């Protein structure tokens, strides 16, 4: 017994004292022969009693495992848990969360280390064109021809132009891995192709005005905003779906992790459509008329809309009002782009307006723009690259900027490259993901231009694989659907999930005010039990306050029983009966009779189909009746 107590380590001092007082220690010391102990002989002749060593008084981590002695060296500064954890009362929960927090932080450091070993560029810089500034050379003076002459054969082949005369202006879209390209002209010409292999997937002529084209989760499907509705086509150009709810669409965005197609039309309704289930999720009126531009934040799935009155609004499917409403420009906002690069991670947003100004915003503080500058040509379009370069497309050319939130932000930034398109207007500018390319759609087709240093060089095969095989794509489709994020999780603050809820006593008013039965007052308890002996008048007053919730409690219900009308009592047949009584045959009566007959016929066929007498026609020809 005493051996057990002794081996169990030091006791709290108070308790220890208490024990000793209760029993004289001499009783313990007088040990009988420890028959029950099997001692283990050691090599040096001694023997140890394992039961005495069953609990050590203290344990120690070997020094070689101490953080400061680890090879990574990152352990020199100890990781501290988040300060908010100190507010947790529950000791067990606190220690658990603290441990989790430290592990997470350590993992973050480790991940950063590993990534540096894996992907750090050997040259040490981000890449791009370097010129001798002192000799007066400027990067924006470098022409496409000079670039393509100085790069390798494989890169030279990436610069190409597709010329389509008289087809209208072109819109372009890349898949997430940058391998496939879709182009759509305003006059109905559509083509999708694997631009690297030069393989055409589909080419169709819709003979209808087209306003936008977007790839869905893979190159297998793409959505086209046509004159009246949104249509979905497959890789071979076969029409799969007509999304009738999306009327008069002008802009589209696809949220790949949520499988949501967001469209907005002339009526100004933002509509979310779940493409995995085919169900319309929600439609939100923007109340700001036909939007001039649309963009998504790839890090938070927030949709940005630019409106005619110069405001930009930020939307999620969870709110009927915009998260942010911002007066960005003095004219219509016609270009929005969100910076997806490492330094920004969806924080920086660029907008351009008809007032000829381009503005750069910080998503953490919308109060004032980070930078703004005038451009000479009329801007129509903006685009951000994987490394954070901004392309400003407009009349007669595209300008590319880099390092926009570095240096003196008061000045007008010096362009990195200028890509002139004489007598053309860029209707769509898109950087190719994971490549140094900019695709510009204009009135004479599309041009794929070289922009050195614009693309993220290191892709991740788990997310977007350029060299994706058939089997891996199938695997990714299934995984993607399994991990489809619920639309409720779209929030402005991406770090929201998994944080500690610090609001005390519930989130809603009801939760905060719901006290347990024993916390209620006497009258409240009696009221809950229905035993409150209250005067009638008081009760009625309360009922009025509480509304209909308590109203039904009273003895008699004054609600009228509504008889359901069926057959003869209907309004149509009543109308017919009245007319026929008067023996007036006019156009309205005839129309009504025809309507009743058609209803009857439809009902009849429905019944027959249900019973199996007629087989309902399905297939392509069914629509002709």
Which of residues 125, 406, 495, 548 is near another protein by CB under 8 A?
495
**Could you say which residues in the range 557-576 bind another protein, by CB under 8 A?**
none
| Contact between 152 and another protein per CB under 8 A | yes
Q: Six-digit token pair at 133?
A: 């500034």
d(CA 611, CA 609): 5
Strand 445-450 and strand 437-442: the pairing is antiparallel
**For the chain, how many residues are written?**
625
Q: What is the enclosing helix (H) or strand (E) of 333?
A: strand 333-338
The single residue among 74, 98, 155, 283 that binds another protein, judged by CB under 8 A, is 155
Q: Please pick, from the candidates 131, 319, 478, 485, the single residue that binds another protein as defined by CB under 8 A.
A: 485
Residue 135 interacting with another protein (CB under 8 A): no
Question: Which one among 165, 406, 483, 548 touches another protein, defined by CB under 8 A?
Answer: 483
Binding flag, residue 463, another protein (CB under 8 A): yes
By CB under 8 A, residue 29 contacts another protein? no
Cα separation, 12 vs 23, whole angstroms: 17
Choosing from 71, 497, 561, 621, the residue that interacts with another protein (CB under 8 A) is 497
Span 244-303, contacts to another protein by CB under 8 A: 257, 298-299, 301
Query: Of 317, 322, 340, 397, which lies in the binding site for another protein, with binding defined by CB under 8 A?
Result: 340
User: Which of 142, 267, 280, 489 lies at the binding interface for another protein (CB under 8 A)?
Assistant: 489
Q: How far is residue 372 from each of residues 47, 381, 405, 536, measured CA to CA in Å?
A: 82, 16, 11, 69
Using CB under 8 A, which of 213, 436, 444, 449 touches another protein?
436
Judged by CB, which is closer to another protein: 232, or 302?
Answer: 302
Nearer to another protein, 63 or 516 (CB): 516
How many binding residues for another protein (CB under 8 A)? 79
CB 19 to another protein: min, Å: 8
Q: Does 378 bind another protein (CB under 8 A)?
A: no
Asked if 291 and 332 count as a contact pair (C-beta separation under 8 A), the reply is no
Given candidates 13, 26, 32, 513, which one binds another protein under the rule CB under 8 A?
32
Stretch that binds another protein, among 240-248, 368-376, 484-492, 585-593 (CB under 8 A): 484-492
224-253 positions binding another protein, by CB under 8 A? none
- Per rule CB under 8 A, is residue 470 in the interface with another protein? no
d(CA 397, CA 16): 86
Residue 3 backbone class (left: φ over 0; alpha: ψ -120 to 50; beta: rest): alpha
Contact 174, 441 (CB under 8 A): no
**Beta strands at 293-296 and 303-306: parallel, antiparallel or unpaired:** antiparallel
Residue 118 engages another protein in binding (rule: CB under 8 A): yes
Whether 379 and 292 have beta carbons less than 8 Å apart is answered as no
**Six token digits for residue 75:** 């352990």
Long-range contacts of 193-196 (CB under 8 A, 24+ apart): 194/219, 195/160, 195/448, 196/466
- CA–CA gap between residue 420 and residue 144 (Å, rounded): 9
Residue 585 binds another protein, judged by CB under 8 A: no
Kindly state whether residue 492 participates in binding another protein, applying the rule CB under 8 A. Answer: no
Regarding 460 and contact with another protein (CB under 8 A), the answer is yes
Return all residues near 65 (Cβ < 8 A) that are at least 6 apart. Answer: none
Residue 505, phi-psi category: left (phi > 0), alpha (psi -120 to 50), beta (remainder): left
How far is CA 526 from its chain centroid?
Answer: 50
The tokens describing 455, both together, are: 């693309």
Please name the helix (run of DSSP H) or strand (run of DSSP E) that holds residue 437, with its range, or none: strand 437-442
Q: Are 464 and 484 in contact (CB under 8 A)?
A: no
Please tell me the distance from the alpha carbon of residue 273 to that of residue 254, in angstroms, as a whole number. Answer: 9
38 binds another protein (CB under 8 A): yes
Binder to another protein among 212, 369, 435, 443 (CB under 8 A)?
435
Binding to another protein in span 439-458, by CB under 8 A:
450, 452, 455-458
Identify which of residues 284 and 464 has a Cβ nearer to another protein in the complex: 464
Q: Which lies closer to another protein via its Cβ, residue 188 or residue 433?
A: 433
String marking each residue 299-338 x if it binds another protein according to CB under 8 A: x-x-------------------------------------
Asked whether position 125 contacts another protein by CB under 8 A, the answer is: no
Closest of 417, 468, 452, 519 to residue 143, by C-alpha: 417
| Position 35 contacts another protein (CB under 8 A) | yes
Please identify which residue in 47, 276, 277, 461 interacts with another protein, judged by CB under 8 A.
461
Spatial contact of 168 and 443, defined as CB atoms under 8 Å apart: yes
In the block, residue with structure tokens 């750069």: 360
CA angle 47, 52, 56 (to 5 degrees): 115
Q: Would you count residue 526 as binding another protein (CB under 8 A)?
A: no
Restricted to residues 42-61, the positions that interact with another protein (CB under 8 A) are 51, 54-55
Q: Looking at 26-34, 226-234, 276-284, 315-323, which segment touches another protein (CB under 8 A)?
A: 26-34
154 contacts another protein (rule: CB under 8 A) = yes
Smaller CB separation from another protein, 55 or 610: 55
403 binds another protein (CB under 8 A): no
Tokens encoding 350: 């660029």
CB-hemisphere CA count at 13 Å for 319?
15
- The three-class DSSP label of residue 368 is coil
By CB under 8 A, is residue 5 in contact with another protein? Answer: yes
34 binds another protein (CB under 8 A): yes
Contact between 498 and another protein by CB under 8 A: the answer reads yes
Q: Does 36 bind another protein (CB under 8 A)?
A: yes
Distances (CA, A) of 54 to 49, 222, 247: 9, 68, 76
What three-state secondary structure class fits 247? coil
Q: Which one, 225 or 262, has the nearer CB to another protein?
A: 262
CB of 92 vs another protein, minimal distance in Å: 6
Q: Which of 268, 335, 346, 445 binds another protein (CB under 8 A)?
A: 346
Taking the complex as a whole, the smallest distance from the CB of residue 500 to another protein amounts, in Å, to 9
The rounded distance, in Å, linking the Cα atoms of 471 and 494 is: 32
Parallel, antiparallel or unpaired: strands 221-226 and 230-234 = antiparallel
- Tell me which residues in 501-520 interact with another protein (CB under 8 A): 516-518
Give the residue, chosen from 187, 484, 527, 593, that forms a contact with another protein under the rule CB under 8 A: 484
Q: At closest approach, how far in Å is the CB of 246 from another protein?
A: 25
């Amino acid at each position: 017994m005493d051996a057990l107590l002794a081996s169990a380590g030091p006791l709290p001092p108070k308790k220890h004292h208490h024990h000793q007082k209760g029993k004289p220690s001499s009783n313990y010391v007088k040990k009988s022969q420890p028959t029950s102990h099997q001692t283990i002989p050691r090599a040096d002749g001694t023997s140890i009693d394992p039961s005495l060593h069953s609990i050590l008084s203290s344990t120690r981590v070997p020094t070689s495992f101490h953080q400061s002695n680890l090879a990574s060296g990152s352990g020199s500064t100890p990781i501290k848990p988040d300060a908010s954890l100190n507010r947790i009362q529950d000791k067990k929960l606190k220690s658990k969360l603290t441990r989790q927090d430290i592990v997470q932080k350590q993992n973050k450091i480790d991940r950063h280390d590993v990534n540096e070993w894996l992907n750090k560029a050997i040259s040490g810089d981000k890449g791009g064109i370097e010129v001798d500034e002192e000799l007066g050379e400027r990067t924006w003076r470098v022409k496409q021809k000079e670039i393509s002459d100085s790069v390798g054969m494989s890169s030279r082949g990436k610069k190409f132009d597709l010329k389509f005369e008289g087809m209208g202006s072109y819109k372009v879209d890349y898949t997430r891995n940058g391998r496939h390209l879709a182009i759509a002209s305003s006059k109905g010409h559509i083509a999708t192709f694997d631009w690297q292999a030069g393989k055409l997937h589909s080419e169709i002529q819709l003979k209808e005005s087209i306003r936008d084209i977007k790839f869905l989760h893979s190159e297998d499907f793409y959505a086209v905003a046509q004159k009246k509705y949104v249509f979905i086509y497959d890789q071979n150009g076969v029409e799969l779906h007509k999304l009738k709810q999306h009327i008069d669409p002008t802009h589209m965005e696809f949220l790949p992790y949520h499988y949501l197609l967001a469209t907005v039309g002339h009526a100004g309704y933002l509509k979310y459509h779940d493409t995995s289930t085919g169900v319309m999720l929600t439609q939100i009126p923007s109340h700001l008329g036909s939007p001039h531009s649309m963009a998504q934040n790839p890090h938070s799935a927030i949709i940005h809309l630019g409106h005619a009155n110069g405001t930009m609004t930020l939307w999620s499917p969870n709110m009927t009002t915009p998260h942010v409403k911002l007066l960005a420009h003095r004219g219509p906002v016609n270009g929005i782009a969100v910076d997806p690069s490492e330094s920004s991670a969806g924080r920086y947003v660029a907008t351009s307006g008809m007032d000829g100004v381009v503005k750069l915003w910080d998503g953490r503080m919308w109060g004032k723009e980070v930078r703004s500058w005038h451009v000479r040509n009329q801007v129509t379009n903006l685009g951000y690259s994987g490394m954070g370069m901004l392309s400003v497309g407009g009349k007669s050319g595209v300008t590319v900027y880099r390092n926009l939130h570095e240096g003196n932000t008061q000045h007008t930034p010096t362009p990195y490259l200028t890509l002139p398109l004489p007598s053309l207007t860029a209707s769509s500018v898109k950087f190719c993901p994971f490549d140094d390319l900019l695709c510009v759609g204009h009135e004479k087709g599309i041009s794929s231009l070289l922009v050195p240093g614009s693309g993220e060089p290191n892709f991740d095969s788990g997310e977007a694989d350029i060299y994706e095989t058939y089997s891996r794509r199938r695997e990714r489709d299934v995984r993607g659907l399994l991990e489809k994020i619920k639309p409720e999780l779209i929030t402005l603050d991406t770090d929201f999930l998994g944080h500690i809820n610090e609001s005390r006593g519930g989130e809603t008013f009801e939760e905060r005010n719901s006290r347990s039965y024993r916390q209620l007052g006497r009258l409240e308890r009696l009221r809950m039990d229905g035993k409150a002996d209250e005067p009638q008048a008081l009760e009625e007053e309360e009922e009025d306050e509480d509304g209909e919730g308590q109203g039904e409690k009273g003895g008699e219900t004054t609600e009228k029983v509504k008889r359901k009308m069926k057959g003869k009592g209907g309004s149509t047949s009543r109308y017919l009966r009245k007319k026929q009584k008067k023996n007036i045959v006019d156009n309205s009566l005839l129309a009504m009779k025809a309507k009743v007959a058609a209803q009857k016929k439809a009902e009849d066929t429905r019944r027959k189909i249900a019973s199996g007498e007629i087989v309902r026609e399905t297939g392509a020809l069914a629509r002709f009746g």
